[in-house]
Amino acid sequence: MSLTSPPKVSQPPQAPTTSPIKQTKRRRPGDLAANLAAVVVVIIAMFPVYWMINTSFQRGVDIQSDTPNFLPWNATLGNYRKAFEQGDFLSALRNSLTVTLITVVVAIVFALLAAVAVSRFRFRGRTTFIVAVLVVQMIPAEAMVISLFKVLDGWQLVNTVLGLTLVYLVVVLPFTIWTLRGFVAGVPLELEEAAMVDGCSRFQAFTKVTFPLMAPGLVATGTFAFIQAWNEFTFALVLMNKPANQTLPVWLQTFNEGAKGTDWGGVMAGSTLMAIPVIVFFMIVQGRMTEGLVAGAVKG
């Protein structure tokens, strides 16, 4: 019964990715139930998405019909044409991509450094930092609009990519630090040490051994950071007050003008367009990672 010293060390450190993958696909009595449950989850998760896409291809009159149209029988690209014409979609897309990508890259780098520090070293102030990062997340960001605007205005950062990026960084950093910390810690130090015995430098040991093993964590946190920055509305609204600097969530609101009611077709087409880059981002990140989420190998 040696569960307390997990058999992780037994693994050859040189080739963590080729570890014997434990089969999760062994036939078990609950499999049918599990598969059924999975199908139900997929349906529930996808239904509003399907409804969004379905609606985006429908004509206005069909969207409001008394009996729902489950498929766009009279399909039209009108909503998409409108999406491209109303406001400036391309400029908003460019702004959103710039801010979001910078946020994701910087957040991951900063968070990774911090995560390594707190999970691989023991030093004075370590606990304070960890607790502080946890607490910092509790500050309701929306309440800060006024004071944050004042501060950024003082630094001449209103209407700049840098200003908005800084705000998004502090929104996503605490979570990314905490999550990556868990993932760094999840890779046993013994693996790195074994690699160092084999002649790797400490840095090499980290990049060659720990980093690949953290892939799912990086995908998850990167996606988190991407989606947070991508969909954020309030700060983008006040900090980027010139239409030319507008980001996509603010642009999307042009279809939701108060008195005239929501332009459903327009919102749905705009939202569908907005969702595409997220999916693309995920595919790229996922593809880059050797051991991704979908492979879902159980490492040992």
Partner 1 sequence: MSTLPPLAPPQAEKPAAGQGPKKPAGLKALPYALLLPASLVLILVLGYPFGRLFVLSMQKFGLKQQFGAPPDWIGLDNYTGIFQDSQFWVVLARTIGFCAAAVVLTMVLGMLVALLTRRVGRVLRMALIVSLLFAWAMPPLSATVVWQWLFDTRYGLVNWLLSQFGGDFHGHSWLSNPWSFFGVALIIVVWMGIPFVAFTLYAGLTQVPGEVLEAAELDGAGAAQRFRYVILPFLRPVILILTALSVLWDLRVFTQFYVLQKAGGIARDTNVLGVYAYRLAFGENKFDVGAAVAVVMLLITLLFTVFYLRQITRQEEL
Partner 2 sequence: MKIRALAAVGLATALALSACGGGSDSDDAGSEGEAQTGTIRLWLNGEDTPQELVDYAKAEFEKANPGSTLEFERQQWTGIVEKLTTSLSSSDSPDVVELGNTQAQAFEAAGALLDITDQKEALGGDDLVQSLVESGTYDGKFYGVPYYGGARVVFYRKDLMEKSKLEIPTSTEEFVAAGVKLKQDNASESDFSGIYYPGKYWYAALPFIWDEGGDIAVKEGESWVGKLSSPESIAGLTTVKKIMDEASGAPKDADEAKDYLDFCKGKVGMLMGPGWKLGQIINEEDGCPELEKQIGAFALPGKTAGSTAPAFLGGSNLAVSAKSEHPQLATSLLKILAGDGYQTKLADLGLLPVKKTLLSEVSGDEAAVAQAKAAENTRFTPASENWAGIEAGSVLPDMLVAIAQGKDVAAEAKTADEAIAAALNQ
Contact between 167 and partner 2 per CB under 8 A: no
Angle between helices 161-186 and 215-231 (to 10 degrees): 160
- Tell which one of 75, 105, 131, 244 touches partner 1 (CB under 8 A): 131
Contact between 244 and partner 2 per CB under 8 A: yes
CA dist., res. 272 & res. 249, Å (int): 12
Partner that binds at residue 179, options partner 1, partner 2, none, CB closer than 5 to 8 Å by kind: partner 1
Which range of residues in 11-19, 151-159, 223-231, 287-295 is near partner 2 by CB under 8 A?
151-159
Residues from 73 through 102 that contact partner 1 (CB under 8 A) = none
By C-beta, is 160 or 256 nearer to partner 1?
Answer: 256
Contact between 139 and partner 1 per CB under 8 A: yes
Which range of residues in 20-28, 113-121, 141-149, 169-177 is near partner 2 by CB under 8 A?
141-149
Residues from 258 through 277 that contact partner 2 (CB under 8 A) = 258-262, 265
- Tell which one of 101, 117, 144, 145 touches partner 2 (CB under 8 A): 145
How many CB atoms sit inside 10 A of residue 207's CB?
12
Residues from 211 through 270 that contact partner 1 (CB under 8 A) = 213, 216-217, 219-220, 223-224, 227, 231, 233, 248-249, 252-253, 256, 262, 264, 267-268, 270
Q: How far is CA 33 from CA 24, 37, 41, 42, 296, in A?
A: 15, 6, 12, 14, 20
Residues in contact with 93: Cβ distance below 8 Å, sequence separation at least 6, in sequence order: 248, 277
Angle between helices 264-288 and 78-85 (to 10 degrees): 80
CA dist., res. 254 & res. 271, Å (int): 12
Residues in contact with 164: Cβ distance below 8 Å, sequence separation at least 6, in sequence order: 99, 235, 236, 239, 240, 247
- Tell which one of 14, 41, 77, 81 touches partner 1 (CB under 8 A): 41
Query: Shortest approach of partner 2 to residue 57 CB, angstroms?
Result: 14
Partner that binds at residue 134, options partner 1, partner 2, none, CB closer than 5 to 8 Å by kind: partner 1
One-letter amino acid of 51: W
Contact between 32 and partner 1 per CB under 8 A: no
Nearest one of 236, 246, 242 to 88, comparing CA atoms: 246
Query: Shortest approach of partner 2 to residue 103 CB, angstroms?
Result: 14
DSSP, residue by residue, 54-116? HHHTS-HHHHT-SS--SS-TT--SHHHHHHHHSS-HHHHHHHHHHHHHHHHHHHHHHHHHHHH
Contact between 143 and partner 2 per CB under 8 A: no
Contact between 78 and partner 2 per CB under 8 A: yes
Query: Shortest approach of partner 2 to residue 225 CB, angstroms?
Result: 20
